[in-house]
Amino acid sequence: LYFIQTNFNMVVPSPTPLSTEKVRAVDLPIIDLSAQRSEVSKLIVKACDKFGFFKVINHGVPNHIIAKLEHEGLSFFAKPVPEKLRAGPANPFGYGCKTIGLNGDMGELEYLTLNTNPLSIVERSKTISDDPSKFSSIVSDYIEAVRGLGCELLDLMAEELLVTDTSVFSRLIRDVNGDSVLRLNHYPPVQVDCKDMDTSHPHDNRNMVGFGEHSDPQILTLLRSNDVGGLQISIEDGVWIPVTPDPNAFCVNVGDMLQAMTNGRFVSVRHRALTNSCKSRMSMAFFGAPSLQTRIIAPPELVTPNRLSLYRPFTWAEYKKASYSLRLGDSRLELFRKC
Ligand code: GA4
């Protein structure tokens, strides 16, 4: 059964009709990180308040680091299925196809998830690549660069939020032995007649759900994709805002842990990915997470008489366990809300 599911030559249309949903074009924030620091931090906080989402350009992650990982990802997904299965099943790390999480969620994608711990990368690489040391150094370089960008963004947020300890957020994801995850998602085209279609804007019901609606459990997600559209965010129930693809940008999502750390000021953005009818989409997402025993508590400056403490203290391990016991689209943070 697993083998049949992984065979992407058999493209079966998803039963989910998207025609009834609302799609709204919105200019989402694109923040140029080469601008003046105080200006950048203002724009970031504004974007996190309004959308829990923004794009960054001039982000400083070297192109050659991105291009190398993209090449490795494309080569991996182009391999015959039995070879890819050597890196699986994804429980939760390794190669997965169509199944998401542990509770029956499905999507039109295949993926590779890696724990970013250096030892784990070296071990995993042996099942993924014919040249494991090359693969693990490409993956490590990418993680290091993108983690650095994530830390920088979190410091900018703390500065603008006037938190005294400006490393309070970045410290959570800086540890190389933390629980951050790297995920490569490959969305093969789901074949429908695509004559005359604008493939960069999947606005219609010829697109299928590749990865269903959810928020990311971690602190911050930095996602880069090729120039094929598919990512959508939702800030209002049932209304989807397409994110224009830009291979030179990183999309940044507020995760559930940053919502908790900001005492509910930033909202972890709900998002999903649609498949494209004609083109293959590949995204590379870094999910910045703390170590398992880290306690998630908002800094004192973000708890005020006007904004009382919203969540009870908990560890990332507790939150992660709850996430994996629920379905993809569930709102997990509600379980940790004070009454
Ligand atoms: C969403 C963000 C990351 O891709 C991920 C996903 C994880 C998985 O695919 O194994 C989860 C999902 C994600 C949220 C809730 C749980 C866990 C599937 C699922 C149903 C790797 C993560 O950390 O959480």
Paired tokens of 250: 């990183």
Query: Which residue is closest in CA terms to ligand 1's atom 5?
Result: 216
Local confidence band at 230 (pLDDT 50, 70, 90 cut-offs): very high
DSSP bridge pairs for 130: none
Global pTM? 0.92
Q: Is 323 in the pocket of ligand 1 (CB under 6 A)?
A: yes
Count of Cβ atoms closer than 10 Å to residue 79 Cβ: 16
Query: Which residue is closest in CA terms to ligand 1's atom 10?
Result: 101
Interval 232-290: pLDDT, tens: 999 999 999 999 999 999 999 999 999 999 999 999 999 999 999 899 999 999 999 99
Local confidence band at 91 (pLDDT 50, 70, 90 cut-offs): confident
Distance from the alpha carbon of residue 153 to the mean position of ligand 1, in angstroms? 22
The residues carrying an active-site annotation are 281
Question: What's the confidence (pLDDT) of residue 197?
Answer: 56
Tell me what percent of the residues of the chain surpass a pLDDT of 70. Answer: 90
Question: What's the confidence (pLDDT) of residue 18?
Answer: 61
Between 174-178, 215-219, 315-319, the lowest mean confidence (pLDDT) is in 174-178
Between the two ends of the chain, the Cα-to-Cα distance in Å is: 44
Q: Is 214 in the pocket of ligand 1 (CB under 6 A)?
A: yes
In this predicted structure, the answer to whether residue 15 has a pLDDT above a threshold of 70 is: no
Distance from the alpha carbon of residue 190 to the mean position of ligand 1, in angstroms? 23
Interval 25-37: pLDDT, tens: 999 999 999 999 9
Q: Is 21 left (phi over 0), alpha (psi -120 to 50) or beta?
A: beta
3-state secondary structure the chain: CHHHHHCCCCCCCCCCCCCCCEECCCCCCEEECCCCHHHHHHHHHHHHHHCCEEEEECCCCCHHHHHHHHHHHHHHHCCCHHHHHCCCCCCCCEEEEEEECCCCEEEEEEEEEEECCHHHHHHHHHHHCCCHHHHHHHHHHHHHHHHHHHHHHHHHHHHHCCCCCCCCCHHHHHCCCCCCEEEEEEECCCCCCCCCCCCCCCCCCCCCEEEEEECCCCCEEEEEECCCCCEEEEEECCEEEECCCCCCCEEEEECHHHHHHCCCCCCCCEEEEECCCCCCEEEEEEEECCCCCCEECCCHHHCECCECCCECCEEHHHHHHHHHHCCCCCCHHHHHECC
Paired tokens of 208: 């299928």
Q: Is 183 in the pocket of ligand 1 (CB under 6 A)?
A: yes
In this predicted structure, the answer to whether residue 205 has a pLDDT above a threshold of 70 is: no
Distance from the alpha carbon of residue 136 to the mean position of ligand 1, in angstroms? 22
Query: Which residue is closest in CA terms to ligand 1's atom 8?
Result: 101
The number of the ligand 1 atom at minimal distance from the alpha carbon of 102 is: 20
The number of the ligand 1 atom at minimal distance from the alpha carbon of 113 is: 21
Query: Which residue is closest in CA terms to ligand 1's atom 2?
Result: 216
ipTM of the complex: 0.99
Q: Does the CA dihedral 97-100-102-105 come out positive or negative?
A: negative
Paired tokens of 67: 């291009």
